Chains A and B, each alone.
Chain A
Amino acid sequence: MESPQRKFQKLQQIIDKYEGKASQLIPILQEVQEEYRYLPEEVLTYIATAMKLPPATVFGVATFYAQFSLIPKGKYVIRICDGTACHVRGSELINQAVRKELNLQDNQSTTEDLQFTVERVSCLGACGLAPVVTVNDTEVYGQMTPEEILAVVKKLREEG
């Protein structure tokens, strides 16, 4: 795992890259989130300090967009599409199956061990493959079933 000091240096580099301009707050938050996997409060305060913005404003932007998370996300982010096509082809059953497997409670989206995060998204734009699931935005699984998603989870667990 990358050291906290590396991350902190990266944080400052990202801010510097955009010259701390208020208009660049969103790309800054995006890149910082890639480093930290989420936006910790103290990091947002640091960004506000460095950019001379009120912390409330940075908090407002970070909470407005669904892409930003203020709570830690898992190593594997599983996104289950719930667009119309995926919905009618049974994406909810996939959602239930994976949540049950990972033992997630009602409002919980990330497992205690920070390995998995499960999210719904409105449309991944791959309706021909419905229902669609992605892992970390890099792997796409089409025509999923509750059984197959459990196989994916099993595979990811084995990878550690």
Chain B
Amino acid sequence: MNTGKVTIDGQVVEINGAKNILELARRVGIEIPTFCYHSELSVYGACRLCMVEVEKMGLVASCSTAPVDGMVIHTNTARVRRLRRMIIELLLANHDRECPTCSKSTTCKLQKLAKQFGVTKVRFGKRDKQLPIDESAPSIIKDPNKCILCGDCVRVCKEVQGIGVWDFAFRGSETQVSTAFNKKLSDVACVNCGQCVAVCPTGALTVKSEVDKAWEAIHDPEKTVIVQIAPAVRVALGEEFGLDSRDVTGKMVAALKKIGVDKVFDTLFGADMTTIEESMEFMHRLKNGGKLPLFTSCCPAWIKYCEQTHADMLKNLSSCRSPQQMFGSMVKKHYARKIGKKPEDVICISIMPCTAKKFEARRPEFTTGGVPDVDVVLTTVELAQMIKEAGIIFDELKPVGFDNPLGMGSGSALIFGASGGVAESVVRFVAGYTGGEEVGRVDFYPVRGIKGIKEAEIEVEGNTIKIAVVNGLANAERLIQRIKNGEAFYHIVEVMSCPGGCVGGGGQPGVNDTAARVKRIKEIYSLDAVNQVHKAQDNIYVNKILEDWFGGPASSGTHNDLHTKYTPRKRISGKPIDINNAEKGGSVQVSVCVGTGCYLRGSYDIMNKFAELIKQMGLEGHVDLNGTFCLEQCDKGVSIKVDDEIITGVTEENVEQIFKSHVAIKVDLAVNS
């Protein structure tokens, strides 16, 4: 451990293991400005804003300089201040300065630091080139004209989520943060988690707003507007109104009523249904030798990741829809009928801490007869904006309760908002299910907290159930690799994409860092501690509605409306690799998949075999062969496509036979006709 003493601005400070000068200065109450330093990410040292003067060393970047015994450090000299101003001025010169109309205005770090350091004018004119804005994705908008190249998004996507959607491309003054081949965000492996938005210091990455869609529905007299609110929203919304990470449930409901929505319900209701359905599914799998581990399915970013990366594990995913989609399905298919409305005249708005929920709501399987189960998804920040827009003084609101019957939720549902919450809810349910009334409160501490990978065990009817809880997709990937290598086995794995779980979602207010997330988690568990309804099965309204509307839990009714299926999904769009002829024109088109799943199973060899067979049988000119990226059948072995037909499970053994029966025969037919 790094030890010794340094002097910072005249104060003698123990190093005590500090990794860099910046962290050490923070410990003694000195905030050194930075764009690119995040304690959770690797040190990059790009923005140079954190420069300090060290005696006998001169100017150094405090984020990437380790304190050494005896160092004398000055953080506030004339030279340092002049330098900081200059850096900010230069960044501003290359930044689209449309502050009043930028959605990051007032939360933008560049704006904040420009004010803090008294940068009142920019001497260098404006950007001379406008790059196109990417609005293709359902959740995230990228405006490269506001990017300051700090690389925070690049690192969070690579290091925390293990995906690497973003990277630096081109060079020098042309440098950009870009997707692969500058493709649209909707065409690459982005899972819409919004962590890049959460770390972006400027308006370069922002959340796509659906506020106008929400207002339109609210102002339409023909529509009944129903709102559902996720657990993590209530402990973070207050931050937008200067109230810290405190529970504001009552005020939030009151504000929504003032805004003019018809019913304010709680996603907690959907979460309790999820707990019951998922626990029953787990018990069923356990007893009948079903696929284990069971992966939770509440997190839409995780689901997309799994579909893209682990198609062979889709059967391990719980078939349960997420609480948002269970709720939406229940509202459109049952509640609408109950209040005598057509599904299309009931608008379901969900308020989420999450940006990926916007994507989830648009998944085609969650639309019935052209009517989406969830019409509008707003983030916590978007709700705050609507409240401000409506002129409501949030702090003065008198708390109001949720509407009935879909407004009641248990403590188990509340903790869905924190990493470990879904696993603990299942534990509570199973404990009550197998142990009966006398079980009482079950608090399961091992799965709580912000740690990336947590493990625990419980006893259920003589079986030891192993549980793993992960947050951050890079952690999920590590765990999956261990499971696939046989190094670990679990019965249940809870996965949340965002660090800390939903409380740290991409739609939460800034500052959305570890400290803020820890505070929100704490508040969630203190709300759970005082909730009288502890376990999902203690929620009498949920039990009643499961019986009355669906014919009981784990029934065909719930199966139709509350469960779903998953499909393999390609990671990147693009054209195929030409294999046998640049001049196309053969009568049969054959594509062999060379996407990751098939590549690892040897599709390269199969491709060569096909090319050989074409030559051997003299079919050159009749068959066009190419390599394509993903036919979205990744769970079924190497896939090929012959004209419009997809054939899966191609192996070295059956390749010749498949070629004869599916390819050669078509050429014969075409030649003879």
* Interface set of A (CB-CB < 8 Å, partner B): 3-5, 8-9, 12, 40-46, 48-50, 52-60, 63-66, 70
Q: Nearest-CB distance from B620 to chain A (Å)?
A: 10
List 19 A-B pairs, Cβ < 8 Å. A40-B577, A41-B574, A42-B575, A42-B627, A42-B629, A45-B572, A46-B627, A54-B163, A54-B167, A54-B180, A55-B572, A56-B164, A56-B167, A59-B167, A60-B169, A64-B168, A64-B170, A65-B171, A66-B171
Q: Mark B658-670, 1 if CB is under 8 A from A, else 0.
A: 0000000000000
Once bound together, how far apart are the Cα atoms of A42 and B574, in whole Å?
Answer: 7
- Whether the Cβ atoms of B599 and A45 lie closer than 8 Å is no
Q: Nearest-CB distance from B597 to chain A (Å)?
A: 10
Give the residues in chain B near A60, CB-CB below 8 Å.
Answer: 167-169, 178
Contact A8 B579, CB 8 Å, known A41-B574, A45-B180, A59-B178: yes
Once bound together, how far apart are the Cα atoms of A53 and B575, in whole Å?
Answer: 19
List 17 other contacts, CB 8 Å, given A46-B594, A56-B178: A4-B579, A5-B611, A43-B577, A45-B180, A45-B572, A46-B577, A48-B180, A49-B594, A49-B599, A53-B164, A54-B158, A54-B163, A55-B572, A56-B165, A59-B181, A60-B167, A64-B171
Give the residues in chain B near A4, CB-CB below 8 Å.
Answer: 577-582
Contact A55 B576, CB 8 Å, known A9-B608, A12-B604, A60-B169: no
Q: Nearest-CB distance from B95 to chain A (Å)?
A: 22
Contact A45 B164, CB 8 Å, known A59-B169, A59-B180: no
Give the residues in chain B near A12, CB-CB below 8 Å.
Answer: 604
Q: Nearest-CB distance from B311 to chain A (Å)?
A: 14
Q: Mark B612-635, 1 if CB is under 8 A from A, else 0.
A: 000000000000010101000000
Query: Does B595 reach chain A (CB closer than 8 Å)?
Result: yes
- Whether the Cβ atoms of B181 and A55 lie closer than 8 Å is yes
- CB nearest to B172 among chain A residues: A64
- CB nearest to A12 among chain B residues: B604
Query: Does B335 reach chain A (CB closer than 8 Å)?
Result: no
* Interface size range of chain B in the complex: 35 or more
Give the residues in chain B near A45, CB-CB below 8 Å.
Answer: 180, 572, 574, 629
Q: Nearest-CB distance from B641 to chain A (Å)?
A: 16
Q: Nearest-CB distance from B598 to chain A (Å)?
A: 9
Once bound together, how far apart are the Cα atoms of A9 and B609, in whole Å?
Answer: 12
Give the residues in chain A near B170, CB-CB below 8 Å.
Answer: 63-64
Once bound together, how far apart are the Cα atoms of A54 and B189, in whole Å?
Answer: 9
- CB nearest to B580 among chain A residues: A5
Give the residues in chain B near A70, CB-CB below 8 Å.
Answer: 181
Query: Does B589 reach chain A (CB closer than 8 Å)?
Result: no
- Whether the Cβ atoms of A8 and B627 lie closer than 8 Å is yes
Q: Nearest-CB distance from B357 to chain A (Å)?
A: 24
Once bound together, how far apart are the Cα atoms of A65 and B572, in whole Å?
Answer: 24
The 7 closest A-B pairs by CB, nearest first: A54-B164, A55-B180, A56-B167, A60-B167, A56-B180, A63-B169, A42-B577
Query: Does B275 reach chain A (CB closer than 8 Å)?
Result: no
- Whether the Cβ atoms of B164 and A57 lie closer than 8 Å is yes
Query: Does B413 reach chain A (CB closer than 8 Å)?
Result: no
Query: Does B596 reach chain A (CB closer than 8 Å)?
Result: yes
Q: Mark B100-127, 1 if CB is under 8 A from A, else 0.
A: 0000000000000000000000000000
Query: Does B179 reach chain A (CB closer than 8 Å)?
Result: yes
Query: Does B402 reach chain A (CB closer than 8 Å)?
Result: no
Give the residues in chain A near B572, CB-CB below 8 Å.
Answer: 45, 55
Q: Nearest-CB distance from A32 to chain B (Å)?
A: 12
- CB nearest to A48 among chain B residues: B180
Give the residues in chain A near B179, CB-CB below 8 Å.
Answer: 56
Give the residues in chain A near B158, CB-CB below 8 Å.
Answer: 54
- CB nearest to A15 among chain B residues: B604
- Whether the Cβ atoms of A42 and B599 lie closer than 8 Å is no
- Whether the Cβ atoms of A56 and B595 lie closer than 8 Å is no
Query: Does B188 reach chain A (CB closer than 8 Å)?
Result: yes
Once bound together, how far apart are the Cα atoms of A45 and B577, in whole Å?
Answer: 10
Q: Nearest-CB distance from A90 to chain B (Å)?
A: 27
- Whether the Cβ atoms of A42 and B576 lie closer than 8 Å is yes
Give the residues in chain A near B582, CB-CB below 8 Å.
Answer: 4
Name B351-366 residues within 8 Å CB distance of A.
Answer: none
Q: Nearest-CB distance from A63 to chain B (Å)?
A: 5
Query: Does B282 reach chain A (CB closer than 8 Å)?
Result: no
* Of B188, B576, B629, the contact of A56 (CB 8 Å cutoff): B188
Q: Nearest-CB distance from A68 to chain B (Å)?
A: 11
Once bound together, how far apart are the Cα atoms of A43 and B179, in whole Å?
Answer: 16
Q: Nearest-CB distance from A127 to chain B (Å)?
A: 24
Query: Does B166 reach chain A (CB closer than 8 Å)?
Result: yes
Give the residues in chain B near A57, CB-CB below 8 Å.
Answer: 164, 167
Q: Mark B42-74, 1 if CB is under 8 A from A, else 0.
A: 000000000000000000000000000000000
Give the residues in chain B near A41, CB-CB below 8 Å.
Answer: 181, 574-575
Q: Nearest-CB distance from A22 to chain B (Å)?
A: 12
Name B564-604 residues within 8 Å CB distance of A.
Answer: 572, 574-582, 594-596, 599, 604
- Whether the Cβ atoms of A5 and B579 lie closer than 8 Å is yes
- CB nearest to B182 among chain A residues: A59
Give the residues in chain B near A43, CB-CB below 8 Å.
Answer: 577
- CB nearest to A53 among chain B residues: B164
Give the residues in chain B near A65, CB-CB below 8 Å.
Answer: 171
- CB nearest to A64 among chain B residues: B171
Once bound together, how far apart are the Cα atoms of A49 and B582, in whole Å?
Answer: 23
Give the residues in chain A near B182, CB-CB below 8 Å.
Answer: 59
Once bound together, how far apart are the Cα atoms of A42 and B167, in whole Å?
Answer: 18
- CB nearest to B165 among chain A residues: A56
Once bound together, how far apart are the Cα atoms of A64 and B181, in whole Å?
Answer: 13
Once bound together, how far apart are the Cα atoms of A55 and B308, in whole Å?
Answer: 14
Question: Which of B188, B581, B611 has the largest count of A CB atoms less than 10 A from its CB?
Answer: B611
Give the residues in chain B near A53, CB-CB below 8 Å.
Answer: 164
Once bound together, how far apart are the Cα atoms of A125 and B166, in whole Å?
Answer: 37
- CB nearest to B578 among chain A residues: A4
Once bound together, how far apart are the Cα atoms of A148 and B608, in whole Å?
Answer: 47
Once bound together, how far apart are the Cα atoms of A53 and B182, in whole Å?
Answer: 16
Once bound together, how far apart are the Cα atoms of A132 and B170, in whole Å?
Answer: 27
Give the residues in chain B near A42, CB-CB below 8 Å.
Answer: 574-577, 627, 629
Contact A58 B599, CB 8 Å, known A4-B581, A42-B577: no
Once bound together, how far apart are the Cα atoms of A42 and B170, in whole Å?
Answer: 19
Name B178-195 residues within 8 Å CB distance of A.
Answer: 178-182, 188-189
Give the residues in chain B near A59, CB-CB below 8 Å.
Answer: 167, 169, 178, 180-182
Give the residues in chain B near A48, CB-CB below 8 Å.
Answer: 180
Once bound together, how far apart are the Cα atoms of A134 and B371, in whole Å?
Answer: 64
* Of B163, B180, B625, the contact of A58 (CB 8 Å cutoff): B180
Give the residues in chain A near B577, CB-CB below 8 Å.
Answer: 4, 8, 40, 42-43, 46
Give the residues in chain A near B178, CB-CB below 8 Å.
Answer: 56, 59-60
Q: Nearest-CB distance from A11 to chain B (Å)?
A: 9
Once bound together, how far apart are the Cα atoms of A52 and B189, in whole Å?
Answer: 14
